[in-house]
Amino acid sequence: MTFRRSQVAGCGSYLPARVMTNDELAEIVDTSDEWIVARTGIERRHIAADGETTSDLALRASTAALADADVAVDELDMIVLATATPDETFPATATAVQARLGMTRGFAFDVHAVCSGFVYAMAVADNFLRLRQADTALVIGAETFSRILDWSDRATCVLFGDGAGAVVLRSAEGDGGAGDRGILATRLHADGRKHDMLYVDGGPSSTRTTGHLRMRGKEVFRHAVVNLSSVVGETLADAGLTTDDIDWLVPHQANRRILDSTARKIGLPPERVIVTVQDHANTSAASVPLALDAATADGRIKPGDLVLMEAMGGGFTWGACLARW
Ligand code: ACO
């Protein structure tokens, strides 16, 4: 019996040209390079130029992913774009990317799960492909978090950056075993009771403003390690695999200490964790595909490798996606 799988055909990413260092931030708020590096591992972040939108970043990442996959725009059946910083309240930023790519068929929509958005989007696209409602999907994570930061709040403005990453998924037949190339398992969770720990204090139906990101950092940290290690275990179990089988953990890049603690808790050696947080900071839904693109471009992730992506974000939402490359 054959089994339909969503295989990763290619990756791409884009970072705005402007790089902001920790020393520059120390000129804006009472902080220091030493504090930021010691508490977060972040050394720099990219910041979108005035007028540069989430769809601008997403388009650049998508074009690169399509080229890497050798897939033409008219082969795409769907676009799912994860973002918490859309160009406009509506329509979906995915439709802006669709139009600008020149894609005139299929469908396009956004997924909103903040930092977990890319993992959610992969799960959604995988389900469409496995249900034969699409053959080829473009999955994007793109954010301009610089637009929702309170640049006077040192506890949050030092943590985030802007960027975009994308992957192309294509359906292929496998035998249903853990050796198949493609997505082997996905797991999603949400707990809306944790709203106050990480949210934006604005929105069209509440304050009618865009608002700013607010966070209780210590509590987010504690929940992140517990939730992420648990969802990693669930996802591996779904595929009948264990931590020892993982070639690469590609975590959401929130904070170096969260990455290290989660890897320690699941018993994975640090050399098998892809870390980009030092260069990108936390780019929310873009962080996992940015890290994927970095690690495939430099040859660390190779065809046949077992790659486990995980993320947690506001909501809380969290999840994982296990794929054989
Ligand atoms: N520079 C200098 N000092 C600072 C800064 C800063 N940028 N920010 C906070 N401080 C101060 C605080 O005011 C506090 O000072 P006090 O002791 O005089 O009151 C001191 O540093 C310690 O503050 P804490 O908040 O206790 O520091 P902590 O060690 O918890 O680190 C941090 C803060 C980095 C935010 C940490 O809690 C964290 O990483 N949490 C996870 C948050 C996260 O990653 N969120 C991303 C979104 S969710 C996700 O992606 C998983």
Looking from the CA of residue 160, the nearest atom of ligand 1 is 46
Between the two ends of the chain, the Cα-to-Cα distance in Å is 22
pLDDT higher than 80, residue 24: yes
* Two structure tokens written together for 210: 């865009």
Q: What is the mean pLDDT of residues 75-99?
A: 98
pTM: 0.98
Q: What is the mean pLDDT of residues 129-142?
A: 98
For the stretch 163-185, pLDDT in tens is 999 999 999 999 999 999 999 99
The catalytically annotated residue of 11, 115, 157, 321 is: 115
Tell me what the pLDDT averaged over the chain comes to: 97
Find all residues with CB under 8 Å of 30, minimum gap 6, and list them: 154
Domains and CATH numbers, the chain: 3-174 (3.40.47.10), 182-324 (3.40.47.10)
pLDDT higher than 80, residue 1: no
For the stretch 263-317, pLDDT in tens is 999 999 999 999 999 999 999 999 999 999 999 999 999 999 999 999 999 999 9
* Two structure tokens written together for 264: 């320690």
Q: How far is CA 318 from CA 59, 113, 226, 315, in A?
A: 26, 8, 11, 9
Q: Whose alpha carbon is nearest atom 35 of ligand 1?
A: 217
Q: Which residues line ligand 1 (CB under 6 A)?
A: 31, 35-36, 39-40, 115, 154-155, 158-159, 198, 215, 217-218, 220-221, 224, 252, 254-255, 258, 282, 312-313
For the stretch 188-206, pLDDT in tens is 999 999 999 999 999 999 9
